[in-house]
Structure 1
Amino acid sequence: MTPPRPRRIACLLYPGFMSLDVVGPLQVFASANVEMERQGRAPAYALQLVAEAAGPVACSAGFAVVADAARRDVALPGLDTLLVPGGMGVDAQLDDAVLHDWLRQAELTARRVGSVCSGALLLARAGLLDGRPATTHWDSVDGLRHGHPQVRVAGDRLHTYDPGGIDGDGHVFTSAGVTAGIDLALALVEHDLGRAMALAVARRLVMYLRRPGGQAQFSPLLAPDAAHAPRLTPLLEWIPGHLGGDLSLDALADRACMPPRTLTRVFQRELGTTPARYVKRVRVEAASALLAQAQASVSTVARLCGFQHPETLRRAFHKHRAVSPQAYAERFGAGTAGAARPG
């Protein structure tokens, strides 16, 4: 029996690309090949680096990566997946009409076209994201939203790949900054080869399983909010230690020594959100950490983090994580039996 031909995966290079945007996802596919070979099966993927011309291309870190082929020589028909990285050099590519035309041709023939980090700006400039959900590195979200109003920007996501088309797109999709490209590649492997293979690759890469595409890009507990909100610094540092208590607007305003309306205006101006939404995100983040530690049941986690009832926690998780608390515990918890229990 003739083994199936490997899926061709091409990744675009251009001067100033982010190295990890390229080698991270490609290593996922390469590791999937290793796992296939360990099982006595043929490799699933054939990897290729393409650029304006074959040869070395300098990344933003200063070293060069060798492109296997020039773009014009790539056989786009039959191409399985094209990935477009981001990086400091992306701005110089935004006015390259020849590149944009090549991307549009690739979209017509390839099974999948995706981006990593600010590579979404290139896809958007080529018109490939019009009417589609898209994310990018958090620092480029505003540029994507304001520069391309026809794109459905979903900035607080890891990636928008969804072969079912329910919560994303299976043909043209995007991912957030740097390491989110690895999550995207694992999602592609899971769709191609099954969840067991994706988990095997994650273990080989010493990753903590696979983060769902709907997960937030970064933790509000770790975000540099306080550095950009000096008037709120004491309050932001106080909130995580009091999640189970009264964090209503009046209580927060009293703690911050401001009238409630003033506090709301300061939050909107300095953090771009309301006090209630900020508290909800911190509570979800704290609940995520407890569920991953598998030290408490869902109902206990809900109480400790100020949700009071498991159903309230469940609704918050579906909004912010796109999964239920129990599903999150099963995916990310070590020894999750206790954390996954609803009682």
Structure 2
Amino acid sequence: MTIPVLPHKTVRQMACYAFDNVMSLDVTGPLQVFASANEELARQGQRRAYDVLVFAEQSGPVQTSFGVRIFADQARDELDLTQIDTVLIPGGDGIDRVRRNPAVVSWFQAASDVVPRVGSVCSGALVLAAAGMLDGRVATTHWSRCDEMRASYPGIGLVENRMHTYDPTGLDGDAHIFTSAGVTAGIDLALALLEADCGRTVALAVARRLVMFLKRPGGQAQFSAYLTPAIGASGQLAGLLEWLPANLQADLSLDAMAARAGMSPRTFSRVFTRDLGLTPARYVERIRVEAARGLLQAGDISISQVARLCGFGHPETLRRAFHRHLSISPQDYAERFGVTVLPV
């Protein structure tokens, strides 16, 4: 299929569909990336690159899954697809009703013939799947819907271990129809789109402003606890899980984390493993590895500095953790992604 191409425009219009019980972050997360890109470009003395809009079945307020309403700028049928660069379909509790709506499914299928980029966030991939748009393509979705997608749509090349499937080159994903994994992966998808549109420097600046890692490419192994830290976790652990990524140099021993969570070490270990599917030590190592990956991708930092900043202490400890999780050394990882790393 030939990818639609819009006439040259200085400003890209990015549209996201909203529906009752949509996951609010699936909508606001990606659109914030594009809005922040405009702010960054303005700081550099450049013109904005994006217009963002939300559309729905009708214009007006749309109820999200946690009660706050999002305002839809336009009704779906009023959208001029010839002026749209990118359409995103988010996920959420209401997605099953949406994917069983023939009018919506047909609309997205028709939109793909006109719009250069059509993507999904989280379980929004189920709508694209229902429209047949993912047949023969690599796709991903929220981990909790992967088994269902695999069984219902066997023609899709489903991969669970990816952040997103967007690739402007078409070599490791798709430049026209693409998907992303759960919730915050939509932000990573938006950063990838931004990088393709405006370059790595702008994308990295926006990622830093949003306190995100610029993850690239979408096919990198997803060991990130930033991606799914709270899935299945009890309220007893929520505060700790939010605190951990910003405190990787702290004492993260079993006793210290148990004290912060207000539990005995034995109870903490049992509850943590039950809710997260990992021991506390394994979980901490995973988020430290993910933080190290982000620093190595950003560049201009030594292996020793990375080890210290991420709580490993010694470069050898970092190297062993990288091999356990990624089967590669930190130095090789940096070189593979074209980053200049200072000597150890």
1:286 shift after superposition: 6.7
The aligned residue for residue 268 of structure 2 is: none
Q: Check if 1:138 corresponds to 2:138.
A: no
The aligned residue for residue 238 of structure 1 is: none
Q: Distance in 2 between matches of 1:20 and 1:165?
A: 27
Give the direction of change, closer, same or farther, for the CA distance of 1:303–1:97 in structure 2 (3 Å limit): closer
Q: TM-score, normalised by structure 2?
A: 0.70
Q: Check if 1:300 corresponds to 2:316.
A: yes
Give the direction of change, closer, same or farther, for the CA distance of 1:26–1:302 in structure 2 (3 Å limit): closer
**Structure 1 letter corresponding to 2:307:** Q
Aligned partners of 2:223 and 2:290 also within 8 Å:
no
Q: Distance in 2 between matches of 1:325 and 1:284?
A: 16
The aligned residue for residue 209 of structure 1 is: 213
Equivalent runs, 1:130-169 vs 2, <5 Å = 130-169=135-174
Q: TM-score, normalised by structure 1?
A: 0.70
**Structure 2 letter corresponding to 1:216:** Q
Q: Check if 1:326 corresponds to 2:338.
A: no
**Structure 2 letter corresponding to 1:294:** V
Q: Check if 1:44 corresponds to 2:44.
A: no
The aligned residue for residue 61 of structure 1 is: 66
Q: Check if 1:87 corresponds to 2:81.
A: no
Q: Can you list the C-alpha shifts for 1:315-343, whole angstroms capped at 9, x where unaligned?
A: 8359xx9x952258987xxxx845xx5x8
Structure 1: gaps spanning 5 or more residues: 228-240, 242-270, 272-280
Q: Can you list the C-alpha shifts for 1:251-275, whole angstroms capped at 9, x where unaligned?
A: xxxxxxxxxxxxxxxxxxxx9xxxx
Q: Check if 1:6 corresponds to 2:22.
A: no
Q: Distance in 1 between matches of 2:307 and 2:318?
A: 13
Q: Distance in 2 between matches of 1:225 and 1:66?
A: 30
C-alpha RMSD over aligned residues: 3.7
**Structure 2 letter corresponding to 1:304:** R
Equivalent runs, 1:332-343 vs 2, <5 Å = 337=341
Q: Distance in 2 between matches of 1:209 and 1:306?
A: 17
Q: Report how many aligned residue pairs link the two structures.
A: 277
Give the direction of change, closer, same or farther, for the CA distance of 1:52–1:201 in structure 2 (3 Å limit): same
Aligned partners of 1:158 and 1:180 also within 8 Å:
yes
Give the direction of change, closer, same or farther, for the CA distance of 1:302–1:218 in structure 2 (3 Å limit): closer
Aligned partners of 1:113 and 1:171 also within 8 Å:
yes
Equivalent runs, 1:164-175 vs 2, <5 Å = 164-175=169-180
Aligned partners of 1:78 and 1:109 also within 8 Å:
no
Give the direction of change, closer, same or farther, for the CA distance of 1:24–1:300 in structure 2 (3 Å limit): same
Q: Distance in 2 between matches of 1:88 and 1:39?
A: 40
Q: 1:78 aligns with which of 74, 79, 83?
A: 83
Q: Distance in 2 between matches of 1:226 and 1:88?
A: 18
Aligned partners of 2:289 and 2:322 also within 8 Å:
no
The aligned residue for residue 234 of structure 1 is: none
Q: Can you list the C-alpha shifts for 1:79-124, whole angstroms capped at 9, x where unaligned?
A: 1000000000001112111001110111011110000000001110
Equivalent runs, 1:206-285 vs 2, <5 Å = 207-212=211-216, 213=218, 214-216=220-222, 218-219=224-225
- The alignment partner of 2:42 has SS state of helix
**Structure 1 letter corresponding to 2:159:** A
**Structure 2 letter corresponding to 1:140:** R
The aligned residue for residue 276 of structure 1 is: none
1:288 shift after superposition: 5.0
1:39 shift after superposition: 2.1
Q: Distance in 1 between matches of 2:180 and 2:228?
A: 22
**Structure 1 letter corresponding to 2:320:** L
Percent identity, please.
Answer: 43
Q: Distance in 2 between matches of 1:150 and 1:300?
A: 44
- The alignment partner of 2:160 has SS state of coil
The aligned residue for residue 187 of structure 2 is: 182
Structure 2: gaps spanning 5 or more residues: 1-7, 235-252, 254-276, 278-282, 296-304
The aligned residue for residue 21 of structure 1 is: 26
Q: Distance in 2 between matches of 1:221 and 1:89?
A: 20
Give the direction of change, closer, same or farther, for the CA distance of 1:192–1:226 in structure 2 (3 Å limit): closer
Aligned partners of 2:224 and 2:290 also within 8 Å:
no
**Structure 2 letter corresponding to 1:53:** Q
